[in-house]
A and B are shown apart, each in its own frame.
Chain A
């Protein structure tokens, strides 16, 4: 069964450094998302991406964050200057086969655990 993959599984970085989290969505999916989950807290929406542009973003997704689909398969989340409070599990998700009806299921990747020291 197709699945969303994410790399790396774990990332440790120093405060102020840039990190890039990578995701390979399910082939033929059209919609891509990033979420984060701070330890012990609920999953929070960051951004959705469709047709090579951001379609929605939350208040969390400030100027320090950016997303990109550099080629036909990868979907990346960049944090320009990490802060201690960016430490969290970051989940990528994808959905929506071409021609699918509204409300298609989002498939989540296994996550990247980011630790900012």
Chain B
């Protein structure tokens, strides 16, 4: 069964610190993996998207890594800010073709950045 598992479920860090969020997936065939940021009550916002041939992708203070052999990904946030407080969701696309449709979402890691 296609699944996306994330850890930790929640995380509290101090402003300015770094953190790493983990994602394991069992999706096959695999097309791409995305990390989204979701603020409470809002829609997810894309941070990174990686195909199976990419190992790392950065977007400002966010760096995602992907190991397609072990089916693991991580999202590293450097120099955290209060505005980073949100849920970070790992999303895997098993589809090929233009539709990309059936994205499989993890439950997310709820990050709280404290002053």
Return B101 CB to nearest CB of chain A, in Å: 3
Q: How many A residues touch the partner, as a band?
A: 20 to 34
A55 to B44, CA, bound (A): 22
- On whether A95 and B45 interact (CB within 8 A), knowing A42-B105, A42-B107, the answer reads no
Residues of A within 8 A of B105 (CB): 42-45
Instruction: Contact check, B100 vs A104: say whether CB atoms are below 8 A apart.
Output: yes
**What's the count of A-B pairs with C-beta under 8 Å?**
73
Q: How many B residues touch the partner, as a band?
A: 20 to 34
Query: Does A75 reach chain B (CB closer than 8 Å)?
Result: no
* Stretch in contact with the other chain, from A13-21, A66-74, A80-88, A108-116: A108-116
Residues of B within 8 A of A113 (CB): 41
Residues of B within 8 A of A93 (CB): 43
Please name the 9 residue pairs, one residue from A and one from B, whose CB atoms are nearest each other, closest first: A48-B101, A108-B43, A56-B101, A55-B99, A43-B105, A103-B32, A105-B46, A42-B107, A42-B105
